[in-house]
């Protein structure tokens, strides 16, 4: 009692019951063998297993109404091992989580890794850059995650990084928007930090582009390992996730470079279906059980060993019958020296169907006109003329949801409303 002051009762099952114990043996009198078996069977049926649902997260709702995504203990644990492996984390690592723990970003980024590694979990929300930097300095962080726009800003303002122990901070995760080669290379050359480029979703798609598999900065900024059969990767998820690209119009599998197709996935990280949504699940999975991600990729590399993100199926702008990837144009726009961030959507047009509308955030003290931007696209970036921007909106900040994804539905609604006839 002195060693365990909160201990109130000791239950004993056996031949001898010590003084003060509560003997359970009499309760067993009269219990038949069949009753005992039935009790054991009921206990097993009620037991929690690693394949039981532990969370129901909700999709961010960037395109439609949010949907519940159930995930099991096992599915989370596998994702956690993927992050630990990609970021090269060690037991006892100190992890800074800048996201709310409501979806894949917040839970897999640091929480599951903390459970698996021990160490410390430092929470940060809502996002405040100055507070985040103070936490990185004061808490001696080993790993964190930041969107590309923040990493670009930090690399351009090196004074903001003073005091951070880069002997400990060896990797930073990023994603949800295009990464620039100069940012990936800059953090490695100046600070010895590897940027891990993640492509993932609440449903369980997980593709880490890490130093061990893509050592070149240009590759890591734009390519992901083609996981599954036929290729060997150092990534711990290499045999846990399987992929295929399918032409969204014909349903034929794509096996050559340069042809965008919808990414479909299977594997240990992929969820089993949306919560209480049988009709949606029929559309979400194809007849062979592959999950339709709604994301467009191309095969790349000399052995077609890479996946290159092209955009969302709904992010394809059809101008005069020509398919244009908004993601492609955005990646060119952010290469302009005056542009900090950009988002491209289709503006309704009665003749061409859609025209390209760009929403841009300029860098402090910088600006550029629409003709100047198009001259940069066609001249410096060699973009085809039909992919030029035809509407330019300058805004202070792009609309985002709580986890940092750009709300393109708001931008589409803006241009659609303004182009409707009176």
Residues in the chain: 422
Q: Which domains does the chain have, with CATH numbers?
A: 11-46 (no CATH), 53-239+264-279 (3.40.50.12780), 320-419 (3.30.300.30)
Q: How many CB atoms lie under 10 A from the CB of residue 280?
A: 15
- Determine whether 106 is exposed, middle or buried from the number of CB atoms within 10 Å of its CB (0-12, 13-18, 19+): buried
pLDDT of residue 35: 84
Its pTM stands at 0.74
Per-residue pLDDT for 16 more than 90? no
Q: What pLDDT, in 10s, does the model give residues 165-221?
A: 999 999 999 987 778 899 999 999 999 999 999 999 999 999 999 999 999 999 999
Q: Strand, coil or helix: what is 56? A: strand
Q: What pLDDT, in 10s, does the model give residues 217-260?
A: 999 999 999 999 889 999 999 999 999 999 988 999 999 998 99
Q: Are 266 and 205 in contact (CB under 8 A)?
A: no
Least confident window among 76-80, 83-87, 148-152: 148-152
Q: Are 188 and 194 in contact (CB under 8 A)?
A: yes
Q: What pLDDT, in 10s, does the model give residues 347-368?
A: 998 878 899 999 999 999 999 9
pLDDT of residue 48: 86
How far is CA 416 from each of CA 137, 154, 420, rounded to the nearest angstrom? Answer: 45, 35, 6
pLDDT of residue 284: 94
The encoded tokens of residue 359 equal 């929403």
Which position has the higher pLDDT, 81 or 12?
Answer: 81
Which position has the higher pLDDT, 89 or 327?
Answer: 89
Q: Output the DSSP codes for 101-158.
A: TTSHHHIIIIIHHHHHH-SEEEE--S--HHHHHHHHHHTT-SEEE--HHHHHHHHH-G
């Amino acid at each position: 009692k002195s060693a365990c002051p909160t201990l109130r009762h000791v239950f004993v099952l056996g031949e001898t019951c010590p003084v003060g114990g509560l003997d359970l043996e009499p309760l067993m009198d009269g219990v038949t063998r069949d009753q005992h078996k039935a009790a054991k069977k009921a206990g097993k049926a009620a037991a929690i297993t690693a394949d039981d649902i532990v969370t129901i997260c909700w999709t961010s709702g960037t395109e439609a109404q949010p949907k519940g995504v159930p995930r099991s203990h096992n599915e989370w644990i596998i994702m956690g091992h993927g992050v630990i492996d990609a970021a090269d984390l060690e037991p006892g690592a100190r992890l800074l989580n800048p996201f709310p723990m409501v979806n894949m970003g917040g839970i897999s980024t640091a929480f599951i890794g903390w459970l698996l590694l021990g160490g410390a979990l430092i929470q940060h929300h809502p996002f405040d850059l100055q507070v985040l930097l103070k936490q990185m300095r004061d808490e001696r962080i080993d790993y964190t995650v930041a969107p590309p726009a923040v990493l670009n800003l930090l690399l351009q303002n090196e004074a903001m990084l003073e005091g951070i122990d880069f002997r400990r901070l060896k990797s930073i995760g990023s994603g949800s928007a295009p990464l620039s080669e100069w940012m990936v290379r800059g953090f490695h050359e100046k600070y010895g930090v590897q940027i891990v480029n993640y492509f993932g979703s609440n449903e369980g798609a997980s593709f880490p582009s890490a130093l061990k598999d893509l050592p070149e900065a240009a590759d890591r900024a734009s390519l992901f390992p083609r996981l599954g059969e036929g290729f060997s990767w150092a990534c711990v998820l290499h045999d846990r996730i399987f992929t295929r690209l399918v032409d969204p119009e014909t349903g034929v599998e794509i096996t050559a470079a340069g042809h965008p197709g919808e990414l479909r996935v299977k594997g240990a990280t992929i969820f089993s279906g949306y919560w209480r949504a049988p009709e949606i699940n029929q559309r979400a999975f194809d007849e062979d059980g592959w999950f339709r991600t709604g994301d467009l990729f191309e095969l790349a590399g000399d052995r077609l060993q890479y996946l290159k993100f092209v955009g969302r199926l709904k992010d394809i702008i059809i101008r005069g019958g020509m398919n244009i990837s908004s993601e492609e144009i955005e990646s060119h726009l952010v290469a302009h020296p005056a542009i900090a961030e950009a988002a491209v959507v289709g503006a309704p047009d009665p003749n061409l169907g859609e025209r390209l509308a760009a929403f841009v955030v300029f860098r402090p003290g910088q600006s550029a006109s629409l003709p100047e931007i198009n001259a940069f696209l066609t001249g410096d970036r060699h973009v085809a003329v039909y992919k030029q921007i035809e509407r330019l909106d300058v805004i202070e900040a792009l609309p985002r949801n709580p986890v940092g994804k750009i709300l393109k539905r708001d931008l589409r609604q803006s241009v659609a409303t303004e182009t409707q006839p009176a």
